[in-house]
């Protein structure tokens, strides 16, 4: 028999390795292991979501007739390395568990689907066949729309890799929102319609609530017992943990939020963490939903006149455009990508990223969402917590570690290009032709945060000035050599040059003072 290993982010019934195995002859293994759960201090809700979704998925596979071996976190392996101190799960790796089951079952080969993280794929490719002493068959992960090879082919001969052109290829490939070879509505991108502030015009619909069953309860208890030192809390655990629940979340979004997704995509509001976003990234990334089924449902809503084109196009672009594009960039540039520091940042991450207490209202709102829900929407990540790290010159690897730790949807292949590339501009600009640096004016335009803030968004040079304002101009000035000749930044440098010199000096002095006391904001 062959043993198929299914990883925590491979919970799809259509998975390539499942298709390659035979339920009558072969067996499957799923494993909760300490090494994977703690190599980063993942948010408690992420661990709970994955362990519970794995347990539910294993039960579904058994119902379909598969023989499934399930290694729970506190199970012990006889004869494996790693001992178990009283009450503490042994620090097993996936390899330990796999070795044990291969031996016990007398497997003739191990079958896997290629994994999402370079770190683990290296271990699989370089160490597992020898350590296991048997053949290892690794199948391509075809849940993505664009394979790694296809992305590499697309990059050949291009001076610049523009997401917009890649996205058009994906539209043609999938046929989504296409009239033959032309985009529906006559244009590829309706982003210019999608920049509204939210002032309560459309009522917000609460998040879907799921009935948490015995499996969920057991897992929540397990996570509380062993991971309470990890970031976040469990008291607002609202995630679904089965495919049916993930589908219900998708339907909830399509019915109640998709119609306004476009208009309010960039909006932020005090006390609201979801607005009109879908909250499906954790399900897409662990395999409970697949990108194409999600896009087809959104397209159907447009065809049935239940959602306008600007919203549906904007949503589909995030999935077949951005999501596939960042994955392509990741595999194109790993492993060196993770070490880049193109702006030579040297400052450590301020402590409030971990405890959430700061007088900057925009930041404290995003931290509150993050710790309470293991979620923050894209603009909160990009233009608030990310923007601040960019302006303050935080070491990219420290802010990347933070994003990888605190979100339920965080996986290296998607987090790293978004943080290191899009936010920190540390890769020289694959994900944006100019850095997404912005002053407090942007946050004030797109939210009501500034009204409730200790700092004044109106000024940049005073003791109570918005830190984003002062740091923004400091960023512009200190990176003049890199960006002055960027055509998309000419206006900004012109405005800076036109400013009176004493004002410039006052702003820079205020910024220096903030940078010297970053932990005290």
Q: Footprint of ligand SF4 on residues 423-442 (CB under 6 A)?
A: 440
369 binding ligand SF4? (CB under 6 A): no
> For the CA atoms of 9, 10, 12, 18, what is the dihedral angle to 10 degrees?
-170
45 binding ligand FAD? (CB under 6 A): no
**Part of the chain binding ligand FAD (CB under 6 A), chosen from 171-179, 187-195, 318-326, 459-467:** 318-326
Phi, psi of 358 (to 5 degrees): -150, 155
Question: Of 4, 350, 386, 467, which lies in the binding site for ligand FAD, with binding defined by CB under 6 A?
Answer: 386
Contacts of 111 (CB under 8 A, 6+ apart): 2, 3, 4, 5, 17, 20, 21, 26, 136, 137, 139
Pairing between β-strand 178-179 and β-strand 182-183 as defined by DSSP bridges = antiparallel
Minimum Å gap between C-beta 411 and ligand FAD is 6
430 binding ligand FAD? (CB under 6 A): no
450 binding ligand SF4? (CB under 6 A): yes
Question: Of 403, 430, 442, 455, which lies in the binding site for ligand FAD, with binding defined by CB under 6 A?
Answer: 403
Question: Of 250, 334, 382, 466, which lies in the binding site for ligand SF4, with binding defined by CB under 6 A?
Answer: 466
363 binding ligand FAD? (CB under 6 A): no
Closer to ligand SF4 by CB, 98 or 457: give it: 457
Answer whether 77's CB lies under 8 Å from 110's CB. Answer: no
Binding mask 346-365 for ligand SF4 (x = CB under 6 A): --------------xxx---
% helix, strand, coil for the chain, step of 5? 55, 5, 40
CA count, 13 A, side-chain hemisphere, 253: 23
343 binding ligand SF4? (CB under 6 A): no
Pairing between β-strand 27-31 and β-strand 135-139 as defined by DSSP bridges = unpaired
The pair of structure tokens assigned to 454 is 């200790």
Closer to ligand FAD by CB, 183 or 291: give it: 291
**Part of the chain binding ligand FAD (CB under 6 A), chosen from 18-26, 91-99, 243-251, 373-381:** 373-381
Closer to ligand SF4 by CB, 298 or 443: give it: 443
Question: Of 422, 446, 471, 514, which lies in the binding site for ligand FAD, with binding defined by CB under 6 A?
Answer: 422
The partner in contact with residue 457, picked from ligand FAD, ligand SF4, none with C-beta cut-offs of 5 to 8 angstroms by kind, is ligand SF4
Q: What DSSP string describes 36-86?
A: HHHTTT--HHHHHHHHHHHHHHHHHHHHTT-EEEEE-TT---TT-SS---T
Query: Tokens 């690794």 label which residue?
Result: 138
328 binding ligand FAD? (CB under 6 A): no
260 binding ligand FAD? (CB under 6 A): no
Question: Of 443, 471, 489, 511, which lies in the binding site for ligand SF4, with binding defined by CB under 6 A?
Answer: 443
The partner in contact with residue 7, picked from ligand FAD, ligand SF4, none with C-beta cut-offs of 5 to 8 angstroms by kind, is none
> How far, CA to CA in Å, does 404 sit from each of 20, 363, 410, 430?
32, 18, 5, 20
408 binding ligand SF4? (CB under 6 A): no
Distance CA 311, CA 307 (A): 7
Distance CA 34, CA 349 (A): 26
345 binding ligand FAD? (CB under 6 A): no
Question: With left for phi above 0 and alpha for psi between -120 and 50, is residue 314 left, alpha or beta?
Answer: alpha
Minimum Å gap between C-beta 502 and ligand FAD is 36
Q: Footprint of ligand FAD on residues 284-303 (CB under 6 A)?
A: 284-285
Minimum Å gap between C-beta 379 and ligand SF4 is 13
Of 243, 336, 229, the residue nearest 290 (C-alpha): 243
Minimum Å gap between C-beta 433 and ligand SF4 is 24
Question: Of 449, 473, 475, 483, which lies in the binding site for ligand SF4, with binding defined by CB under 6 A?
Answer: 449
405 binding ligand SF4? (CB under 6 A): no
Of 395, 461, 173, the residue nearest 295 (C-alpha): 173
The partner in contact with residue 51, picked from ligand SF4, ligand FAD, none with C-beta cut-offs of 5 to 8 angstroms by kind, is none
Q: What is the DSSP code (8-state) at residue 146?
A: S
- 343 alpha-carbon distance from chain centroid: 23
Q: Which helix (H) or strand (E) holds 475?
A: helix 467-478
Q: How many residues bind ligand FAD (CB under 6 A)?
A: 29
Distance CA 306, CA 304 (A): 5
> How far, CA to CA in Å, does 272 sit from each of 198, 388, 447?
11, 20, 11
The partner in contact with residue 263, picked from ligand SF4, ligand FAD, none with C-beta cut-offs of 5 to 8 angstroms by kind, is none
Question: Of 423, 466, 507, 518, which lies in the binding site for ligand FAD, with binding defined by CB under 6 A?
Answer: 423
17 binding ligand FAD? (CB under 6 A): no
Minimum Å gap between C-beta 468 and ligand SF4 is 5
Minimum Å gap between C-beta 275 and ligand FAD is 9
Closer to ligand SF4 by CB, 281 or 447: give it: 447
Answer whether 57's CB lies under 8 Å from 240's CB. Answer: no
Answer whether 71's CB lies under 8 Å from 238's CB. Answer: no
Residue ranges that bind ligand SF4, judged by CB under 6 A: 360-362, 440, 443-444, 449-450, 453, 455, 457, 466-468
């Amino acid at each position: 028999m062959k043993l198929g290993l299914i990883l925590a982010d491979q919970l799809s019934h259509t998975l390539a390795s499942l298709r390659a195995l035979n339920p009558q002859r072969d067996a499957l293994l799923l494993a909760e292991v300490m090494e994977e759960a703690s190599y980063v201090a993942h948010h408690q809700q992420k661990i709970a979501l994955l362990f519970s979704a794995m347990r539910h998925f294993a039960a579904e596979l058994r119902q379909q007739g598969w023989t499934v071996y399930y290694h729970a976190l506190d199970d012990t392996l006889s004869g494996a390395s790693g001992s178990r101190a009283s009450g503490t799960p042994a620090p097993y790796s996936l390899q330990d568990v796999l070795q044990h089951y291969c031996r016990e079952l007398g497997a003739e080969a191990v079958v896997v689907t290629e994994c999402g993280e370079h770190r683990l794929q290296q271990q699989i490719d370089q160490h597992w066949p020898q350590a296991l002493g048997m053949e290892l068959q690794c199948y391509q992960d075809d849940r993505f729309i664009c394979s790694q090879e296809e992305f590499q082919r697309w990059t050949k001969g291009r001076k610049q890799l523009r997401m917009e052109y890649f996205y058009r290829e994906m539209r043609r490939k999938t046929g989504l929102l296409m009239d033959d070879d032309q985009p529906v509505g006559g244009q590829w991108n309706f982003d210019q319609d999608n920049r509204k502030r939210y002032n309560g015009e459309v009522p917000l619909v609460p998040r879907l609530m799921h009935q948490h069953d015995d499996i969920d309860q057991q897992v929540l208890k397990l996570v509380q017992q062993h991971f309470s030192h990890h970031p976040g809390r469990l008291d607002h655990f609202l995630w679904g943990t089965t495919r049916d629940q993930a589908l219900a979340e998708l339907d909830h979004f399509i019915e109640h939020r998709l119609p306004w997704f476009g208009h309010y995509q960039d909006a932020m509001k005090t006390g609201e963490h979801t607005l009109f976003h879908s909250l499906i990234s954790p399900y897409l990334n662990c395999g409970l939903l697949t990108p194409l089924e999600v896009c087809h449902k959104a397209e159907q809503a447009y065809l049935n006149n239940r959602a306008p084109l600007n919203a549906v196009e904007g949503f589909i672009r995030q999935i077949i455009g951005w999501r596939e594009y960042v994955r392509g960039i990741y595999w194109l540039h790993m492993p060196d990508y993770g070490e880049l520091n193109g702006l030579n940042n040297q400052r450590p991450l301020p402590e409030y990223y971990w405890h959430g207490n700061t007088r900057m209202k925009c930041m404290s709102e995003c931290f509150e969402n993050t710790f309470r829900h293991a979620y923050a929407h894209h603009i909160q990540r990009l233009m608030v917590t990310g923007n601040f790290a960019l302006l303050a010159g935080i070491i990219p690897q420290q802010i990347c570690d933070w994003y990888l730790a605190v979100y339920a949807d965080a996986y290296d292949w998607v987090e790293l290009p978004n943080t290191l590339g899009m936010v920190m501009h540390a890769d020289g600009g694959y994900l944006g032709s100019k850095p997404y640096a912005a002053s407090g004016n942007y946050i004030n335009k797109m939210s009501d945060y500034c009204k409730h803030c200790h700092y004044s968004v109106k000024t940049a040079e005073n003791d109570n000035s918005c830190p984003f304002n002062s740091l923004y101009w400091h960023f512009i000035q200190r990176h003049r050599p890199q960006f002055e000749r960027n055509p998309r930044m000419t206006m900004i440098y012109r405005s800076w040059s036109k400013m009176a010199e004493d004002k410039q000096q006052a702003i820079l002095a205020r910024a220096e003072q903030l940078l010297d006391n970053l932990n005290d904001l």
